Structure 1
Amino acid sequence: MISETVRVPSADVALTGDLVVPGRPRGVILFAHGSGSSRLSPRNRAVAAGLRRAGLGTLLLDLLTEDEEREDAATGRHRFDVVLQARRLVDAVDRPAGRPGVAGLPVGLFGASTGAAAALIAAGQRPERVFAVVSRGGRPDLAGDALPTVHAPVLLVVGGADDAVLGLNREAAQRLTAHHRLHVVPGATHLFPEPGALAEVAEAAADWFCDHLGGETDDTAGSPGPRAARATRQAGK
């Protein structure tokens, strides 16, 4: 198992991330956090833990530097700069391939809030590397004209009581040409604080990534296939 803090070069900055990869991983999932959040987000860390239980590695990455985060807190300058965030996410997609234990693994992207737009833009720019995308309470609409360029399967997870964001996701889904699905968590609001809501997000995300990162059969390396991973999670409920 790999568990370490990493520094990912991107242009003239270095981004900080927490990389955790279980033994015999099916793939690695890069997290793009939303405005005002970071790799320490308790919600994304909870989802990441669920993904690791399904045999997936995770990289929770800060797409802004500490100085940029301080500036953004005061001015809001960077939080909607999804082009900048996507460019840095692309650099992160390219870099983990050279890390021991991660090289050659299929990559998925998990985006929350504005991070969902960055994830979709990055997926469109790296179709040969990104195999699946999941958005949690995301703003895929901010990806704009990049939406039709996405080839990876996309899962949009939205709270049923998050009316405004649900409408934006429905509109964005109409512009996606890739295989996609809208998963509505009944009664959940934007941050999914309701009992069981975040667990449903994690399970839906794990199923999506397992289904689209490694196919439906068990691989020869000995890690469980997606159906086996689902059965294991369900047996543990």
Structure 2
Amino acid sequence: MKSSRSIEKNEKEVSILVDTVCLQGILGFPSQAQGVVVFAHGSGSGSGRFSPRNNFVARILQNAGIATLLVDLLEESEDWDRQKVFDIDLLTTRLLGIVHWLRQQPETRELMLGYFGASTGAGAALQAAAREPREITAVVSRGGRPDLAMEYLSQVQAPTLLIVGGEDIPVIPLNEAAYAKLKCQKELAIVPGATHLFEEPGTLDKVAQLARDWFVNNFLKQA
């Protein structure tokens, strides 16, 4: 059973139909938004649209004038299916469907788009950015698995920021290998003292600052 949270005044719950699946999300919309960032989550407890970590980052982005869409890429009945959790093609297809949905909504159809991916969601975000390069302005990965999209990385055109915890020992080399494959504008940021979930004091703040600056700067370049 997923947790929940209150919906703020500038937010609304949305249902997005992708193929035969109905995905649930929360669209946060500040006044005069310059772009919208889709959060591509990993899966399991606490990592869907109610993830405290991604909601924290989303608030920072909204305060900077960026709309956010926190969305579950898997239905609740699928969330613990490990095969689907690591089915990057499936997650990518759903991300692309979400982008097409955003392009049909009056309030988002003209906005620049970005992806914020975590865990397996980062691999899906990068594959999606490679498959529809004209749609995506910037990508950020937090503690992600960009290596799961290795064959697509050379095709990514959107500026990409990979954020990894300095103590996330298994994931650092995976991000370094992915970084080497990227041919776009790119940056690898290692946050000292942070483990995989960025639970240490101040580390998630650093993630949010890095992501905010990356999206704001790249959205402004395209404005």
Instruction: State the TM-score bracket (shorter-chain normalisation).
Output: over 0.9
Q: What are the superposed Cα offsets for residues 8-54 of structure 1, whole Å, 9 maximum, x if unpaired?
A: 11111111110011000010000000131211111111111111111
User: In the alignment, which residue of structure 2 is the partner of 1:95?
Assistant: 101
User: In the alignment, which residue of structure 1 is the partner of 2:116?
Assistant: 110
Partner of 1:98, secondary structure, is coil
**Are 1:134 and 2:144 an aligned pair?**
no
Amino acid corresponding to residue 105 of structure 2 in structure 1 = R
Amino acid corresponding to residue 217 of structure 2 in structure 1 = D
What is the RMSD computed on CA atoms of the aligned residues? 1.3
Tell me by how many angstroms 1:79 deviates: 1.1
Amino acid corresponding to residue 36 of structure 2 in structure 1 = V
Gapped regions of structure 1 (runs ≥ 5): 220-237
Amino acid corresponding to residue 17 of structure 1 in structure 2 = G
May I ask how many residue pairs the two structures share in their alignment?
Answer: 213
**Are 1:213 and 2:219 an aligned pair?**
yes
1:35/1:80 contact within 8 Å kept: no
Partner of 2:157, secondary structure, is coil
Deviating runs (4+, > 6 A) in structure 1?
none
Aligned pair partner of 2:29 in 21, 25, 28: 21
Amino acid corresponding to residue 30 of structure 1 in structure 2 = V
**Are 1:162 and 2:172 an aligned pair?**
no
User: In the alignment, which residue of structure 2 is the partner of 1:80?
Assistant: 86
Counterpart-to-counterpart distance in 1, 2:106 and 2:169: 43
Q: What are the superposed Cα offsets for residues 96-127 of structure 1, whole Å, 9 maximum, x if unpaired?
A: 12213212000000000110000000101111
User: In the alignment, which residue of structure 2 is the partner of 1:5?
Assistant: 13
**Are 1:54 and 2:60 an aligned pair?**
no
Tell me by how many angstroms 1:186 deviates: 0.6
Report which of the two structures shows the higher radius of gyration computed on alpha carbons.
1
Counterpart-to-counterpart distance in 2, 1:191 and 1:2: 27
1:135/1:157 contact within 8 Å kept: yes
User: In the alignment, which residue of structure 2 is the partner of 1:234?
Assistant: none
Identical columns (%): 47
**Are 1:200 and 2:199 an aligned pair?**
no
Aligned pair partner of 1:185 in 166, 181, 191: 191
**Are 1:44 and 2:15 an aligned pair?**
no
Q: What are the superposed Cα offsets for residues 47-70 of structure 1, whole Å, 9 maximum, x if unpaired?
A: 11111111100000100012212x
Counterpart-to-counterpart distance in 1, 2:76 and 2:167: 33
Counterpart-to-counterpart distance in 2, 1:212 and 1:125: 20
Length-normalised TM-score, structure 1 = 0.87
Partner of 2:85, secondary structure, is coil
Length-normalised TM-score, structure 2 = 0.92
Amino acid corresponding to residue 31 of structure 1 in structure 2 = F
Counterpart-to-counterpart distance in 1, 2:164 and 2:77: 31
Counterpart-to-counterpart distance in 2, 1:15 and 1:35: 14
Partner of 2:84, secondary structure, is coil
Gapped regions of structure 2 (runs ≥ 5): 1-8
Tell me by how many angstroms 1:76 deviates: 1.8
Tell me by how many angstroms 1:193 deviates: 0.5
Counterpart-to-counterpart distance in 1, 2:127 and 2:214: 19
Tell me by how many angstroms 1:214 deviates: 2.1
